Amino acid sequence: MSEVRVEGLSKHYGAARALDDVTLTFPDGGFFGLLGPSGSGKTTLLRAIAGFVEPTAGGVFIGDRPVVDVPVEAREIGMVFQNYALFPNMSVADNVAFGLRVRGTARGEIDKRVGDALELVQLGPLGARRPHELSGGQRQRVAMARAIVTRPRVLLLDEPLSALDKALRVDMQIELKRIQREVGITTIFVTHDQEEALTLSDRIGILKGGRLIREGRPQEVYSDPGDVFTARFLGEANVIEGTGSGDWLDLPGARVARPEGATTIAVRPEHLSVTVDRPDGPNALQARLRQRIFAGAMGTCVLDWNGQMLKAVARHEEFSDLPESGPVWVSWAPRHARGLKAD
């Protein structure tokens, strides 16, 4: 069993709290994404699990084994860093074999496991090359092979795709997911890229100011963020505030249905409709279309409602009858509004 748990984990640097009483479970064999703005504590959490950071308080467990006092090399963890940390003077095969040699593994076993690892990351023929002879994506896969060749119980990934260009990053997301599924290893992944986290992860956790503020399946957290910060951080959200009156949210010049008595709601851009004529239904706001943005198959409308910017996203042809600018109506189905707690 390779479930990872942190319980009441804190890390203080003087008065600064890099981690503040974080309790979280990373399921056995799952792919867990840690998200948050710069300084939120996500990398500190990863490094505390690895053993590079000593917690101020709390526990770290791999399976049922507490590991806070266990040295890094004895935690059975593989790690891929942002810059891959490959040895430039070694061949690809020697880079991958390094951890096995340190452990005193027999030569025949090293050759077999290195070969298997390079085949898994689809670099079998490139074992004799040096890192500078590889593309960025290939170097990333060498780093993955080196991390998994020792058969660790847990794989930690610290923004491993951030150095790649966008097109290659998308390709490597597919590769990462494939490799993780084939190996079946518990994987914890730190990223600042929300789309990347949603694409790769089975579950995600969002940190802010060293505290865990939301955790769950990506679809759940995206569709029901729970608070204003999460709604705005994870994708785009139209956040609308008003005052409550029974089942209704009173807004300037309008009244809309409110979920569960909320006074702040979020509606994702893909759930907003924009029309010239007032639509049927309870949720309709008169706004001014400021800009239409063409982006291939999809289009974005930027709107001004009562001095607040709203965004609507849909297939480009759905906006074809709209003016380039001017008065329009914005509406949404009541089921697409989510109540939010204040930050």
- Report the CATH number that the domain containing residue 185 is assigned in CATH: 3.40.50.300
Does residue 174 share a domain with residue 25?
A: yes
Note down the domain range covering 158: 4-226
Of 306, 321, 36, 53, the closest CA to residue 189 belongs to 36
Whole-structure pTM value: 0.90
Choose one of 226, 255, 270: the last residue of a domain: 226
Does residue 291 share a domain with residue 178?
A: no
What is the distance between the alpha carbons of residues 334 and 272, in angstroms, rounded to a whole number? 11
- Do 88 and 132 form a contact (C-beta atoms < 8 A)? yes
Choose one of 173, 203, 226: the last residue of a domain: 226
Does residue 321 share a domain with residue 206?
A: no
Does residue 238 share a domain with residue 196?
A: no
Does residue 271 share a domain with residue 169?
A: no
Does residue 207 share a domain with residue 320?
A: no
Choose one of 161, 193, 226: the last residue of a domain: 226
Q: Using H for helix, E for strand and C for coil, what is the string for the chain?
A: CCCEEEEEEEEEECCEEEEEEEEEEECCCCEEEEECCCCCCHHHHHHHHHCCCCCCEEEEEECCEECCCCCHHHCCEEEECCCCCCCCCCCHHHHHHHHHHHCCCCHHHHHHHHHHHHHHCCCHHHCCCCHHHCCHHHHHHHHHHHHHCCCCCEEEEECCCCCCCHHHHHHHHHHHHHHHHHHCCEEEEECCCHHHHHHHCCEEEEEECCEEEEEECHHHHHHCCCEHHHHHHCCCCEEEECEEECCEEEECCEEEECHHHCCEEEECHHHCEEECCCCCCCCEEEEEEEEEEEECCEEEEEEEECCEEEEEEEEHHHHCCCCCCEEEEEECCHHHCEECECC
Length reported for the chain: 343
CATH assignment at residue 255: 2.40.50.100
Does residue 251 share a domain with residue 146?
A: no
Give me the tens of pLDDT residue by residue for the chain, a chain 343 residues long. 589 999 999 999 999 999 999 999 999 999 999 999 999 999 999 999 999 999 999 999 999 899 999 999 899 999 998 877 899 999 999 999 999 999 999 999 999 999 999 999 999 999 999 999 998 889 988 999 999 999 999 999 998 888 777 778 888 888 889 989 988 999 999 998 888 899 899 999 999 999 999 999 999 999 999 999 999 999 899 999 999 878 899 999 899 999 888 999 999 999 999 999 999 888 999 999 999 988 888 899 999 999 999 999 998 888 888 888 899 999 999 999 999 987 6
Does residue 254 share a domain with residue 201?
A: no
> What is the side-by-side strand order in the sheet with 203-208?
77-80, 154-158, 186-190, 31-35, 203-208, 211-216
Does residue 161 share a domain with residue 78?
A: yes
Does residue 262 share a domain with residue 218?
A: no
Number of domains the chain contains: 2
Does residue 65 share a domain with residue 116?
A: yes
Backbone angles phi, psi at 108, to 5 degrees: -60, -40
What is the distance between the alpha carbons of residues 306 and 286, in angstroms, rounded to a whole number? 9
Does residue 207 share a domain with residue 249?
A: no
